């Protein structure tokens, strides 16, 4: 049975404009005639991901992987082309973005929950799980500015894996946090993939971890997909690209 499409990129490009000064940037934004260099971070990219698929994005630094994920979470927007996303998106990113440092961890759970489109009642039902998973002890009721970066990551992960996302986005994120927390996240992600039919978009340079979660791999090079297929073949293509074989 063919699963429904939950993510579709149709001929998507993302162009960054590199101005030499903020004055040039302003002129460029307002009048579109300032000279500047451009960087096509994503170049005419098309793919579809079906519900329940776990897809790894592999590629060198600067290949466009994070830009793709940012466009799915609507942190960045395509310059050309169309993106279709169906479902609630949870994101584990390297930086636990979006927290208010003056709010406590618990208050930030509500803040994030609202941003993700949940109502107070729904968040309240999940609050205990989120707090328990984060294992922050008394710090859950302290302002987030008092957290270490690992603690912020824990809170961010805990919120995003416990809100029952339809689509989970993971960008190199499992490299933060200590071993034990990492293991807990891995097993939680596996559980969501098996039981909740979640869809996963996974960016990593650690191909072993990609193989653990994903059955499909897309290899990116200079903003283009140069391979899209079974994970083992994708890893072989990636190894070739980085000159490992």
Ligand X SMILES: Nc1ncnc2c1ncn2[C@@H]1O[C@H](COP(=O)(O)OP(=O)(O)OP(=O)(O)O)[C@@H](O)[C@H]1O
The residues that touch ligand X, with contacts defined as CB under 6 A, are: 16, 39, 41, 59, 61-67
Asked if 204 is part of the footprint of Mg ion (rule: CB under 5 A), the reply reads: no
* Partner from Mg ion, ligand X, none binding residue 39, C-beta < 5-8 Å depending on class: ligand X
- In 3-state terms, what secondary structure has residue 225? strand
Nearest CA-CA partner of 169 in 118, 213, 234, 221: 213
DSSP 3: P
Residue closer to Mg ion by CB (options 34, 75) is: 75
Residue closer to ligand X by CB (options 64, 105) is: 64
The CB-of-226 to ligand X minimum distance in angstroms stands at: 13
Q: Which of 14, 55, 66, 174 binds Mg ion (CB under 5 A)?
A: 66
DSSP 196: S
Residue closer to Mg ion by CB (options 89, 131) is: 89
The CB-of-129 to ligand X minimum distance in angstroms stands at: 30
* Partner from ligand X, Mg ion, none binding residue 237, C-beta < 5-8 Å depending on class: none
Residue 164 in tokens: 């029952």
Residue 65 in tokens: 């992987």
Q: H/E element holding 182? A: helix 179-195
Asked if 158 is part of the footprint of Mg ion (rule: CB under 5 A), the reply reads: no
Rounded to the nearest 10 degrees, what angle do helices 120-134 and 149-162 cross at?
130
Residue closer to ligand X by CB (options 62, 81) is: 62
The CB-of-67 to ligand X minimum distance in angstroms stands at: 3
Work out the number of other CB atoms within 10 angstroms of the CB of residue 74. 10
């Amino acid at each position: 049975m063919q699963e429904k499409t939950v993510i579709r990129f149709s001929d998507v490009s993302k162009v960054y404009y590199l101005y030499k000064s903020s004055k040039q940037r302003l002129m460029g934004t307002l009048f579109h005639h300032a000279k500047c260099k451009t960087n096509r971070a994503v170049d005419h990219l098309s793919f579809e991901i079906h519900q329940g698929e776990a897809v790894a994005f592999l590629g060198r630094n600067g290949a466009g992987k994070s830009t793709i994920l940012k466009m799915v979470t609507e942190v960045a927007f395509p310059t050309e082309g169309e993106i279709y996303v169906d479902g609630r998106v949870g994101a584990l990113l390297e930086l636990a973005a979006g927290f208010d440092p003056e709010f406590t961890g618990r208050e930030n759970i509500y803040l994030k929950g609202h941003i993700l489109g949940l109502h107070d009642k729904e968040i309240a039902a999940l609050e205990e799980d989120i707090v328990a998973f984060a294992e922050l002890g008394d710090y859950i009721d302290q302002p987030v500015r008092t957290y270490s970066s690992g603690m912020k990551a824990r809170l961010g992960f805990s919120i995003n894996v416990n809100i029952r996302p339809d689509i989970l986005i993971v960008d190199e994120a499992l490299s933060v946090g200590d071993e034990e927390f990492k293991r807990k996240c891995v097993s939680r992600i596996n559980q969501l993939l098996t039981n909740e039919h979640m869809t996963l978009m996974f960016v990593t340079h650690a191909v072993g971890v990609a193989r653990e979660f994903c059955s499909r791999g897309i290899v990116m090079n200079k903003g283009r997909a140069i391979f899209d297929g079974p994970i083992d073949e994708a890893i072989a293509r990636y190894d070739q690209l980085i000159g490992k074989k």
